[in-house]
Structure formats: C-alpha cells, structure tokens
Amino acid sequence: MTAVSQPEALAQAYAGITDVVAPLDDAGLQRPTRCRGWLVADLLFHVLCDAQRALVALASPADCDDVSYWRAFTAPADGTGTGRRAARDEAGSGGRHASWVRRSAAAFERPSGVVRVWADTAPAAVRAAAAADPAGFVTTQGHVLRVPDLLATLTTEAVVHHLDLIVDLPDAPPPAALPVRVAVASLCGLLSDDAVRPVGWDDRDFLLKAAGRVPLTDRDRWELGEAAGWFPLIG
C-alpha cells in the first residue's frame, strides 16, 4: 500500500468516528452496536483505548507487518474484538476486556464524557502519526512494526468499529473511502493467494463478512470455495 498516505487514512478514519458520535445525545450514545453487549459509548471507549495505544507506540522507539499482525491474535467469542486477538492489553483478554470496557465507559458521569476524551485524544494520535518517521519502527502489544503498518492496523480497527457503531444509527455517515481502502487491503492480505472475493461483494460487504459481523450465505460459500473456511478473517 505504498501509494496510500497512512497518516491521512488514520486521520480520516478517526474523523469519521467523530462525525458519528459528536452529534449524538446521551440516549444516542446508549444505542446498541454490532459488538455484543456494547453500547455506542462502550465501543467508542474501546476505540479510544486504541488511540491512546497509538500515542504510546508512536513515542516508543518488524517482526511483522499490518497483515501478519492480525494473524498473531485470536478473536474473543463475544465478537467485541477486531482481530484474531486475545486482547493483549492491561485489561485482560476476551470477556474480561469487554467487561472492563463497559465498566470504564459507565464510570463517566454521562456517556458524552467519552466523546469529550475521544475528541481530545484522536486528533493527538493523528498528529503523532503525521510526525512519525515513516521509515521508523514502533512497539505495541508485544510486536515491533514499521510505522506505516501500525497506522494501517489502527485504521483497519477504526473502520470495522465505525461499521459496528452505526448499525443502529441509520443516518450516521459511513467510513471514508481512503481508510476503507486500507482496511480492505489489510484483510485481503489474510486470504490465500488463490482466493477470489465474490464479485457481488462491495467493500462494506467484504469488511462485515471478513470481520465476522455478517455470516456467509450459501452462495458466498459456493463462490469462495475452500477459502470460505478462512472466514471470519479477523473475528
């Protein structure tokens, strides 16, 4: 993805999430998402943690790239993850992480408190991304990645969770084209070389099915052939 500006893709991905949550009142922030058990405010807090992790990683001067990063993780059974990941963070894995996120988001006096912290943190992460040496390396979650690959993982997570956020918000804007392009490229990299994406899928279909948000249909399985066994690609 050498032609893609990864800092700009991340900027658009985070701005897209801001565009979704900023207009919401407290009731809107308590609407359900695709992540089981998580409200909009809960999921926003989860993505906020990613932005905070980005700030730490970008200040922490590759054994993997933005594709193999996802292979290193396994997806929690509750669907709250965006990778084959065991949620290797300070909050623990799988259901423990989901529970920690709900408790943390609920600790704000009002759900809009999460939005205020997000609105401060996400732009700071974007500025750090733009200032980082694209030829440099950073550490995060036990890995060492090139800066562009870190930004691609953050963008992919933001795009998938953007789609999670708007499942019950029909008037909310979708993710922008550039971050979607980055997410699609990353997840396509998890397919085998001979796998062909069904022609009827648009990028949104691919992302939702690759992330396990929407199940494969019988036709999907027929078109994918053996590659159907790879789905969901990131859980």
Q: Could you report the per-residue pLDDT of 17-31, keeping only the tens digit for each? A: 999 999 999 999 999
Mean pLDDT for the stretch of residues 90-95 = 52
Q: Which CATH number fits domain 6-230: 1.20.120.450, 3.40.50.150, 1.10.1760.20, 3.90.550.10?
A: 1.20.120.450
Range scoring the smallest mean pLDDT among 117-121, 124-128, 229-233? 229-233
| Alpha-carbon gap, residue 206 to 114, rounded angstroms | 30
Q: What is the pLDDT of residue 93?
A: 52
| Alpha-carbon gap, residue 49 to 80, rounded angstroms | 14
Q: Is residue 173 predicted with pLDDT exceeding 60?
A: yes
Q: Please state the three-class secondary structure of the chain as a single string.
A: CCCCCHHHHHHHHHHHHHHHHCCCCCCHHHCECCCCCCEHHHHHHHHHHHHHHHHHHHCCCCCCCCCHHHHCCCCCCCCCCCCCCCCCCCCCCHHHHHHHHHHHHHCCCCCHHHHHHHHHHHHHHHHHHHHCCCCCEEEECCEEEEHHHHHHHHHHHHHHHHHHHHHHCCCCCCCCHHHHHHHHHHHHCCCCCCCCCCCCCCHHHHHHHHCCCCCCCHHHHHHHHHHHHHCCCCC
| Alpha-carbon gap, residue 175 to 178, rounded angstroms | 9
Handedness of CA 196, 209, 72, 64 (dihedral sign): positive
pLDDT-based confidence at residue 95 (cuts at 50, 70, 90): confident
Domain ranges of the chain: 6-230
Q: Could you report the per-residue pLDDT of 200-215, keeping only the tens digit for each? A: 999 999 999 999 999 9
Q: What is the pLDDT of residue 116?
A: 97
| Alpha-carbon gap, residue 201 to 214, rounded angstroms | 12
- For the chain, the average pLDDT equals 87
Q: Could you report the per-residue pLDDT of 146-167, keeping only the tens digit for each? A: 999 999 999 999 999 999 999 9
Residue type, 42: D
| Alpha-carbon gap, residue 43 to 21, rounded angstroms | 11
Q: What is the pLDDT of residue 80?
A: 54
Q: How far is CA 60 from CA 53, 56, 97, 213, in A?
A: 10, 6, 24, 33
